[in-house]
């Protein structure tokens, strides 16, 4: 799946929705629904979800959510430093790195969930999920 036309949040939502199709663990599914509603997108809740995932697809999706939350925190820290006329270069570099890692985890989640180990870009389900995240996130 190419994430070029998706925001980081949309890409994570895609991975979470994709993983919901294969994940059986009820606690992970509960976390996923909470994350998708936007009620708890903290790194700590995503880390706990990854630890409780029963499939590699769900674990990678939760890891992507954790990395996205960490990126958001770094972006907030950078904004605070810049508002105080302080150097925020490290935070901004780490923000970019976390976003890159996040998109890598999204791709890994989708590869692990596909039947042939490739990125699922052509299936009807892929198109359905892409449309959903572009509309809702």
Residue range 16-40: average pLDDT? Answer: 95
Q: Which two tokens stand for residue 2?
A: 């190419």
Domain boundaries, the chain: 8-136
CA dihedral (65, 37, 55, 49) positive or negative: positive
Q: How many CA atoms lie within 13 A of 56 on its CB side?
A: 11
Residue range 114-132: average pLDDT? Answer: 79
CA dihedral (24, 57, 66, 15) positive or negative: negative
Residue range 78-84: average pLDDT? Answer: 94
Q: Are 105 and 69 in contact (CB under 8 A)?
A: no
Distance CA 70, CA 93 (A): 13
Q: How far is CA 122 from the centre of its chain?
A: 21
In Å, the largest CA–CA distance within the chain is 51
pTM of the model: 0.87
Non-local (6+) Cβ contacts of 112 within 8 A are 55, 56, 57, 60
> Quick one: which of 75, 73, 28 has its CA closest to 15?
28
- pLDDT of 80 strictly over 80: yes
- pLDDT of 9 strictly over 70: yes
pLDDT of residue 122: 74
Q: Are 18 and 130 in contact (CB under 8 A)?
A: no
pLDDT of residue 32: 97
- pLDDT of 48 strictly over 60: yes
Q: How confident is the model at residue 130 (pLDDT cuts 50, 70, 90)?
A: confident
Q: Are 40 and 34 in contact (CB under 8 A)?
A: yes
């Amino acid at each position: 799946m190419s994430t070029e036309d998706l925001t980081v949040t949309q890409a994570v939502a895609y991975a979470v929705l994709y993983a919901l199709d294969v994940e059986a663990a009820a606690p992970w599914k509960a976390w996923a629904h909470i994350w998708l509603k936007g009620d708890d997108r903290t790194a700590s809740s995503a880390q706990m979800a990854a630890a409780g995932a029963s499939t590699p697809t769900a674990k990678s999706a939760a890891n992507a959510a954790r990395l996205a939350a960490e990126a958001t925190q770094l972006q907030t820290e950078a904004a605070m430093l810049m508002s105080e006329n302080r150097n925020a270069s490290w935070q901004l570099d780490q923000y970019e790195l976390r976003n890159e890692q996040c998109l890598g985890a999204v791709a890994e989640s989708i590869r692990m969930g596909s039947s042939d180990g490739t990125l699922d870009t052509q299936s009807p389900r892929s198109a359905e999920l892409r449309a959903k995240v572009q509309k809702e996130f």
